[in-house]
Structure 1
């Protein structure tokens, strides 16, 4: 692949992002928390669809899916179910949450916790969990930036340079324009990624004959990768589907996008569009992974996070036409990763500034002052995460498993909080403690599953049982 053209393309795109940041800064209506973190709750269905798409289909999906297919084989088509489940779970609570958020002017996830349960220590615990998850998620995106840029340019741009330069651009345009800049860039990022995926599909998998060749090769060389998963794996998959489906639907950045919708109609339309995205995006990534399997038989030491960047460089070197679509996809992929990073950082800074620092230290601070504090936290957080990302000690898949085990413990605060009048703040608080403690201790003891069921899901079950056991009639929590 012509790395010079690719580097110029990436540079031009980064300049475009900075320009959008300056434009969004000029279009802001105020320096309030609502305007900065929710774009004044003005996102229509088209913008909301692509900001959800660009955010949800991040490094975790784009890099992990082909890598896991190379590693595990055809059974990883099951990843398709994970992303479909997320949209289904959105629909179970998002419209109801949106309507409540508009009546009471929610900005952060913590606003819902305060409104429904009115227990400061519960809100603080839930927010601390969301901070841990968000820091984890942001770190995985920064690592992915380095892997993609380094792999796609054949090492001409080192890992550290990819991490530092892209992180700098993200923090600049986000600080300038907040959610408005993030949403505008997400539309461009989502369209680029979607177009690049479609083009790459026709390049790599032009007809059924190519798939047949790959299947025959796998039968002859790695038959274990085409076998039907055993029953234990099917239980494992169902467990992971529920954990990822529930967990990804309550990411703080996803919750704030629900708040930012222009209307409940816009929200429903965008979620309706999201239903088809897994069948396009994940299916194509699966086929790209299948086409990559024969290329990695003698590369056991290669990080699986580098599978897609390596293959994009290979495919782009085969013809000028392929080069064009490969470059479009690479830039789109970098864009999607940056999109997720900016969304996570925006939510993270809002939680720390408004729900933690604002309530503990600056209870009477104005909305404008909290916005400035949030921006300052964004710069500090990004600097710290970049320093950690430069010395990665864990794979992207490991980061996914860690955050999902604890994130799923937040689910009852939304589903039970919205649909069950019986649960009380006391029961919810104790349930959250039990679920979070169980999942965290088990993970760090390297116990990831029990009977092929993820400890995070078991923790969620314990969480819900504890919640109901300790809930009592409490009129204060029924609002």
Structure 2
């Protein structure tokens, strides 16, 4: 992101204010629950007691972040109306959630699941399936965390006009994040999500108003103006692009819905009714969030035409500089808004780090290394693992690979391979462990090889989707041919588990 000429010292002040607020929230969350650092459930799931406001905003922060604005607007700038797919794939995520979230909540409540792999261990009773799924989930989380670290550095440097260098920005805010997360766990993460979510929503709307003003104030002529710049940006996409769009729907829809930190929010809900009401509100967020960001990117084509790929990655900063020059009101709104982008990125990073820590402490250490360890010790192992992985990713973040969008796509290729085992296993009790393992492994190998050899798509179809198709085929056909040893486990798919008495 380009340096914001309007910010500088004012940006530093805003960032310090956000940091202090986040630390105060962490302190308050830890103080309100004295057992938060003694219990896996209290630390990682907020005691399974998140109400509708906290749950909605933490789900919102899980699906969106400040990086949505920083990364998606440039994608819209480069691809034009084709980036309408961002609204559709964000919408399909909600639909996929509703396929399994209510039943997963019931199972999580009944069996006290902490992480997604708890469900896989319970369902398949296979160490191979569980360990492979853990590896794929950690891959996805680590990749997502790397994306947030890169974005934090660019956003802070931009907001402070270079006063805070990239490396100092990343390290400084990572320390803030670790501090409040260690103090309050999931509760602190959810409460910071509420703060950043409100400011981000308001900021996007005002940013859009300023961008429309710069474009001449006539919304109806924007498409015509884009056509004058590059007719291909508003034309009907070709067949390969259309196939790629559908492939992206599958990749993101199936992948994002089983983010470990997203699944853990299902477990953290106060009740099934609270969960469903939160998802009902989330259904409105794709057009309100990614839809407005799409429009911002399209306006950028008119206001700042001719940017190459590297230049378009700076689009939001370039537009913000122009908007801040309109008057004093927009000046301060842009500073607060970019501070909210930084806070939103951090709030996404803390959720990912918390989930990564939980998988290490509860699954790897708690299940396979030291099952008899007390929960307090498991928590400490998870916290230390979080610091170690952050340190490793910081080293990578000094020289970030590719554009933010490329990093975004990369994490789904392997994570999505967990989907058949995780979701189909809920409804089909004949699904067997061995075919599930081999399907997951073969799907991951195909997707990984295609990504790492540079063949990310074939005729527009992502490697992760090709791997997922193979994964489904092996798991389903194999389960039909190889009877499951757990076919008599009625608890897995019994109709009685589809609902639970709701709470007000």
Q: TM-score when scaled to structure 2?
A: 0.91
**How far apart, CA to CA, are the structure 1 residues paired with 2:310 and 2:421?**
41
Which deviations, in whole Å up to 9, do the C-alpha atoms of 1:137-177 show, x marking residues without a partner?
Answer: 00000100111122233333322222111111111111111
**How far apart, CA to CA, are the structure 1 residues paired with 2:173 and 2:373?**
33
340-349 or 354-363, which moves further after superposition? Answer: 354-363
- Aligned partners of 1:55 and 1:336 also within 8 Å: no
Correspondence 1:24 to 2:29: yes
- Aligned partners of 1:68 and 1:76 also within 8 Å: yes
- Aligned partners of 1:134 and 1:344 also within 8 Å: yes
- Aligned partners of 1:81 and 1:241 also within 8 Å: yes
Within-5 A mapping of 1:308-319: 308-319=316-327
Deviation, structure 1 residue 69:
1.3
Deviation, structure 1 residue 209:
4.5
What does residue 411 of structure 1 align with? 419
Deviation, structure 1 residue 252:
0.5
**How far apart, CA to CA, are the structure 2 residues paired with 1:91 and 1:201?**
31
**How far apart, CA to CA, are the structure 2 residues paired with 1:406 and 1:344?**
16
Deviation, structure 1 residue 356:
1.2
208-217 or 383-392, which moves further after superposition? Answer: 208-217
What does residue 219 of structure 1 align with? 227
Correspondence 1:450 to 2:455: no
Which deviations, in whole Å up to 9, do the C-alpha atoms of 1:407-428 show, x marking residues without a partner?
Answer: 1111112221111112111111
Correspondence 1:199 to 2:206: yes
**How far apart, CA to CA, are the structure 2 residues paired with 1:298 and 1:452?**
26
What does residue 12 of structure 2 align with? 7
Correspondence 1:97 to 2:104: yes
Deviation, structure 1 residue 296:
4.3
**How far apart, CA to CA, are the structure 2 residues paired with 1:192 and 1:366?**
40
**How far apart, CA to CA, are the structure 2 residues paired with 1:343 and 1:58?**
11
Deviation, structure 1 residue 314:
2.6
Pairwise CA RMSD? 1.7
What does residue 420 of structure 1 align with? 428
What does residue 306 of structure 1 align with? 314
Correspondence 1:382 to 2:390: yes
Within-5 A mapping of 1:208-247: 209-247=217-255
**How far apart, CA to CA, are the structure 2 residues paired with 1:194 and 1:209?**
21
- Aligned partners of 1:151 and 1:310 also within 8 Å: no
Runs of 5+ consecutive residues of structure 1 not aligned to the other structure = none
- Aligned partners of 1:163 and 1:390 also within 8 Å: no
What does residue 262 of structure 1 align with? 270
Within-5 A mapping of 1:72-471: 72-205=79-212, 209-300=217-308, 302-471=310-479
Within-5 A mapping of 1:54-65: 54-65=61-72
Deviation, structure 1 residue 312:
1.7
Deviation, structure 1 residue 295:
4.8
Which deviations, in whole Å up to 9, do the C-alpha atoms of 1:234-280 show, x marking residues without a partner?
Answer: 11101101110111000000010000000000000000000001111
414-423 or 291-300, which moves further after superposition? Answer: 291-300
Deviation, structure 1 residue 302:
3.3
Runs of 5+ consecutive residues of structure 2 not aligned to the other structure = 1-5, 493-504
- Aligned partners of 1:147 and 1:306 also within 8 Å: no
- Aligned partners of 1:60 and 1:397 also within 8 Å: no
Count of matched residue positions in the alignment of Structure 1 and Structure 2: 479
379-388 or 168-177, which moves further after superposition? Answer: 379-388
What is the DSSP-based 3-state SS (H/G/I as helix, E as strand, rest coil) of the residue aligned with 2:310?
coil
- Aligned partners of 1:86 and 1:249 also within 8 Å: yes
Deviation, structure 1 residue 228:
1.6
**How far apart, CA to CA, are the structure 2 residues paired with 1:115 and 1:305?**
44
- Aligned partners of 1:205 and 1:287 also within 8 Å: no
**How far apart, CA to CA, are the structure 2 residues paired with 1:462 and 1:2?**
50
